[in-house]
Amino acid sequence: MKPETRAELARPALFLDRELSQLAFNRRVLAQAEDPSIPVLERLRYLCICSSNLDEFFEVRVASLLAAASVDGVLSEHPALTANLNRVSAECHALVARQYEILNTEVLPLLEQNGVHVVRHNQRTEAQRAWVKEYFEREVRPLLTPIGLDPAHPFPQVVNKSLNFIVALSGKDAFGRGTAIAIIKAPRVLPRIIPLPAELSDRPGVSFCLLSSIIHAHVSDLFAGREVLAYSQFRVTRDSDLWVDEDEVKNLRQALKGELAGRQFGRSVRLEVAKNCPPGLSEFLLDQFGLDKSRLYQVDGPVNLVRLNEIADHMKKPELRFPPFMPGVHNKTVNNDIFATLRRHDMLLHHPFQSFQTVIDFIRSAATDPCVVAIKQTVYRTGMNSDLMEALILAARLGKEVTVVVELMARFDEEANINWADKLEQAGAQVVYGVVGLKTHAKIALVIRREGPGDSGVLRYYAHLGTGNYHPTTTKFYTDFGVLTSNEEMGRDVNEVFMHLTSLAKPHKLNHIWLAPFALQDQIIKAIRNEARIAKSGKPARIIVKVNALVDESVIRALYAASQDGVRIDLIVRGACTLRPGVEGLSENIKVRSIIGRFLEHSRIYYFRNDLKHDVYLASADWMNRNLFRRIEVAFPVLDRALKRRVMAEGLHPYLKDNQNAWELDSSGHYQRRKPRAKQEPFSAQRHLMHNLGTVAETAPPPTA
């Protein structure tokens, strides 16, 4: 490559905008809600997923952009920062408008046709109105605290993403004063979706009403003797990233407990109001929350679409859902002895197409096995209820050496992780919180077993390494790989990682694992450059990578250089990707695609042809700067040849063949959905894996169109 061409790799224009790329991912999720071939309750769920994703985008990414563009809390006039915020804002407004358009013109009418009715106040029968009034008086009104604003009643603290109402009133209050504005907080303990009694319905099916609709219908009852001039529901989204000065605190867990309460009242970043909210009320709210008009979202429906998930949870109509799926069970365990099986061969698990129960059984067996002397495990996300955590608690109570590295800074799972840390310590486990300033994101577990006669037996390592979290719920909906192995060198590597996390000593040289933040980026770039060297020697060179995000500029530059040297590169990137593919003279040998389907694509796979050595790595890390330098991450090779072929056959090749759920990225940053070409059979990678590894029920009849 010419020196001047190499210099081009430093041009910022060669990288797509990260925030816009993340929003493009939400566009692809929203396209699932638009797809008429998907059952209507699933389309509703996709709307809720998109809304939830946007909530987090505002809580984290927009909050970060606003902080970067502010000086002492006031937005600066920096042209580049302002322009980026404006582009992001425009796309967010367009996304939100499209969400509600799909809800009102497609999803709700289709639900109606299939006997699922969301009944507004003006649609209710007299009997339904009477029931709603009685429900309001019995269940809602006692929990409400309307606040008329005056010097003694200032604007109240409004919790992040909570449902609230602003009311404009005429006349004077009971004390003869003109308190013109009141605020009502909707009780968080009440359901947002309320089923109406079946006997009151005037049409077949199930009828629901929204809590916001119930409060709207009876808001005037809360202000006797005064006229309600106008009102609107509203919701404010706040900066929700937790921050503690890790150099100052002596106990991270105690510090985080204090910060969790404050998360609900972080800096405001977005205000949502009803579409018909009078300008005066929205302007009043913007002023209270310190927001400009670009942060205002007027929505044609409930301000929190995520709560509509309750409708899908309530409905029992299988014809309105995806066909039931039963994951396959790994059936190669010898005499139900998982350790005997692993002494014979490694095991590869592909979730959710294969059950996560095998991993749970691995830890449970270790907990009760008298030969097991120690268990070590990392915890990033595990949920409020976890059989794995209960097994670790049991192991500690049975006297085994249990070490758990709990990541307390796992965003939005901090409280659950703190609770598990408390329970584990009470049971006698050794709990540590990783490395200050670095999130422990690696997914590893190690069982150490004494095998052989009496005390002369030798210690043997059994390890689980995965791409996903030890979370009982997400393992059913996220695609991930996990390897169970008794390979001695791999076990020693895993133990070395744990020794590093607990002792904070520099890790010794590892046999197989690439460890961030010390070597992972260097090893990735070294492998990419090795493929480039092979290509320049005239041999075939190939890279296939599957990750959730690709934004690390050093890795992208290495991929650009490899493309220019003739390496054929396929990137399967679910979410944000800032690499520009298909640019002549730069990246014409790179293709980027994203798969959006029934399950969330979550596995990380790195494949390098390496002159027919076919190196396959599974990893916890995406190709982002934060993963490579601000987290403890591991990438590990699949050593067994048969399992290596399986990863290729299940985790990469079907996704490159997919022409139903695949979106291809062009050099301008736009995604186009792949469709079967002439005489080409439709092919979905996820559907293929469901049928090959698990059991899919007979396809339910499509909902009425």
- Three-class DSSP labels, 209-251: EEHHHHHHHCHHHHCCCCCEEEEEEEEEEECCCCCCCCCCCCC
pLDDT for residue 174: 56
Give the residue, 699 or 678, on which the prediction is more confident.
678
Query: Are residue 501 and residue 520 in the same domain, yes or no?
Result: no
The number of domains in the chain is 3
**Domain presence at residue 345:** yes
Residue 130 and residue 335: Cα distance in Å, rounded?
64
Select from 542, 690, 518 the least CA-distant residue to 621: 518
Exposed/middle/buried for residue 276 (C-beta within 10 Å: 0-12, 13-18, 19+): exposed
**690, containing H or E segment:** helix 685-693
For residue 472, which amino acid is it?
A: P
Query: Are residue 241 and residue 288 in the same domain, yes or no?
Result: yes
For residue 504, which amino acid is it?
A: L
Residue 76 and residue 52: Cα distance in Å, rounded?
29
Q: Retrieve residue 232's tokens.
A: 């609107």
User: What mean pLDDT is predicted for residues 170-177?
Assistant: 64
Residue whose tokens read 């507004």: 120
CA-CA-CA-CA dihedral for 612, 614, 615, 620, to nearest 10: 160
Query: Are residue 645 and residue 686 in the same domain, yes or no?
Result: yes
Residue 167 and residue 155: Cα distance in Å, rounded?
13
| pLDDT for residue 68 is more than 80 | no
Would you call 350 a catalytic residue per the annotation?
no
**Domain presence at residue 705:** no
pLDDT digits (tens, 9 = 90+) for 590-643: 999 999 999 999 999 999 999 999 999 999 999 999 999 999 999 999 999 999
**Domain presence at residue 465:** yes
pLDDT for residue 406: 86
Give the residue, 585 or 79, on which the prediction is more confident.
585
CATH, residue 420: 3.30.870.10
pLDDT for residue 54: 96
Query: Comparing 13-22, 69-78, 316-325, 549-558, which segment has the lowest mean pLDDT?
Result: 69-78
154: left (phi over 0), alpha (psi -120 to 50) or beta: beta
Cα–Cα separations (whole angstroms), residue 595 to 53, 353, 476: 17, 16, 17
Query: Are residue 581 and residue 648 in the same domain, yes or no?
Result: yes
Query: Are residue 337 and residue 426 in the same domain, yes or no?
Result: yes
pLDDT for residue 704: 38
User: What mean pLDDT is predicted for residues 520-535?
Assistant: 98
**Residue 574 is labelled as binding a ligand:** yes
| pLDDT for residue 566 is more than 80 | yes
| pLDDT for residue 246 is more than 90 | no
pLDDT for residue 701: 44
pLDDT for residue 703: 41
CA-CA-CA-CA dihedral for 647, 652, 653, 658, to nearest 10: 140
User: What mean pLDDT is predicted for residues 46-68?
Assistant: 92
pLDDT for residue 462: 98
Radius of gyration of the chain (CA): 28
Residue 315 and residue 325: Cα distance in Å, rounded?
18
pLDDT digits (tens, 9 = 90+) for 431-475: 988 777 788 899 999 999 999 887 678 999 999 999 998 888 899
For residue 677, which amino acid is it?
A: R
Residue 278 and residue 296: Cα distance in Å, rounded?
13
**Domain presence at residue 255:** yes
> Which of 452, 476, 511 is the C-terminal boundary of a domain?
511
Give the residue, 415 or 364, on which the prediction is more confident.
364
| pLDDT for residue 224 is more than 50 | yes
Query: Are residue 622 and residue 690 in the same domain, yes or no?
Result: yes
pLDDT band at 357 (very low <50, low <70, confident <90, very high): very high
Contact of 234 with 206, CB cutoff 8 Å: no
pLDDT for residue 381: 83
CATH, residue 281: 3.30.1840.10
| pLDDT for residue 260 is more than 60 | no
**Domain presence at residue 564:** yes
| pLDDT for residue 253 is more than 60 | no
> Which of 320, 347, 362 is the C-terminal boundary of a domain?
320
pLDDT band at 244 (very low <50, low <70, confident <90, very high): very low
**Domain presence at residue 704:** no
| pLDDT for residue 572 is more than 80 | yes
pLDDT for residue 40: 97
**Domain presence at residue 702:** no
Query: Are residue 97 and residue 189 in the same domain, yes or no?
Result: yes
Residue 447 and residue 388: Cα distance in Å, rounded?
13
Query: Are residue 542 and residue 685 in the same domain, yes or no?
Result: yes
Query: Are residue 315 and residue 332 in the same domain, yes or no?
Result: no
Beta strand pairing call for 443-451 and 458-466: antiparallel
Which of 117, 441, 464, 500 is flagged as catalytic? 441
**Residue 381 is labelled as binding a ligand:** yes
Q: Retrieve residue 310's tokens.
A: 């309750």
pLDDT digits (tens, 9 = 90+) for 298-313: 999 999 999 999 999 9
**Domain presence at residue 7:** no
User: Peptide bond preceding 517: is omega within 30 degrees of 0, i.e. cis?
Assistant: yes
Query: Are residue 199 and residue 276 in the same domain, yes or no?
Result: yes
Residue whose tokens read 């404006």: 86
Query: Are residue 570 and residue 446 in the same domain, yes or no?
Result: no
Q: What is the pTM of this model?
A: 0.91
pLDDT for residue 330: 79
The number of CA neighbours under 13 Å toward the Cβ of 574 is 17
- What b-and-e string marks burial along 133-144, b requiring 16 or more CB atoms within 10 Å of the CB? eebbeebbeeeb
Mean pLDDT, the chain, integer? 89
User: What mean pLDDT is predicted for residues 510-518?
Assistant: 95
Which residues lie closer than 8 Å to 561 by C-beta, 6 or more apart? 1, 6, 9, 528, 529, 532
pLDDT band at 652 (very low <50, low <70, confident <90, very high): very high
Query: Comparing 118-127, 487-496, 517-526, which segment has the lowest mean pLDDT?
Result: 118-127
User: What mean pLDDT is predicted for residues 654-676?
Assistant: 96
pLDDT digits (tens, 9 = 90+) for 586-601: 999 999 999 999 999 9
Highest mean pLDDT among 123-132, 140-149, 528-537: 528-537
**Residue 602 is labelled as binding a ligand:** yes
**Residue 78 is labelled as binding a ligand:** no
Length in residues, the chain: 705
pLDDT digits (tens, 9 = 90+) for 402-423: 999 988 765 656 777 788 888 9
Query: Are residue 259 and residue 342 in the same domain, yes or no?
Result: no
> Which of 511, 539, 570 is the C-terminal boundary of a domain?
511
The number of CA neighbours under 13 Å toward the Cβ of 641 is 2
**Residue 464 is labelled as binding a ligand:** no
Number of H helices, E strands in the chain: 22, 31
Q: Taking the CB of residue 336, how many other CB atoms lie within 10 A of it?
A: 9
Looking at the chain, the whole-number percentage of residues with pLDDT higher than 70 is 89
Q: Which domain holds residue 426?
A: 326-511
For residue 165, which amino acid is it?
A: F
User: What mean pLDDT is predicted for residues 228-252?
Assistant: 73
Backbone φ, ψ for residue 375 (5° rounding) = -135, 135
Give the residue, 703 or 331, on which the prediction is more confident.
331
Contact of 515 with 499, CB cutoff 8 Å: no
pLDDT for residue 479: 97
